[in-house]
Amino acid sequence: MYTGTVSGKHWIGMNDQDTEGTWIWKDSDSSVAWDNWVGGTGVPTDGSHLKNCGQLDASTADLNWNDEDCSAKLPMICERAIPCEGDTVGCLNKY
């Protein structure tokens, strides 16, 4: 759980580089099951195939996701395991 603050756009580790519109998590190659795409319009597709990486836009109230050119220079948000000391929920979820 993140308890700090972020602003602006950040990479969040997903892309649709293999198949346009099919978003996967970079660390596991698993499908993105939950989404928060900007505008609530569903998975974005980019006809020019230039925007293949997913970013979180912390300047929006809902922390919306959007697609972005993978060569854009953005900070990133990373996932890490939570220590399991006395926290059975954290141990079960691992994150």
Tell me yes or no: is domain 9-93 CATH 3.40.630.10.
no
The enclosing H or E element of 93 equals helix 88-93
Residue 10: name the closest of 60, 55, 59, 70 by CA.
Answer: 55
Number of H helices, E strands in the chain: 1, 4
pLDDT digits (tens, 9 = 90+) for 35-82: 788 877 667 766 667 889 999 988 888 888 989 999 999 999 887 776
Structure tokens, 18: 């293999």
pLDDT digits (tens, 9 = 90+) for 4-13: 677 889 999 9
Q: Is the pLDDT of residue 95 over 50?
A: no
The reported pTM is 0.72
Domain ranges in the chain are 9-93
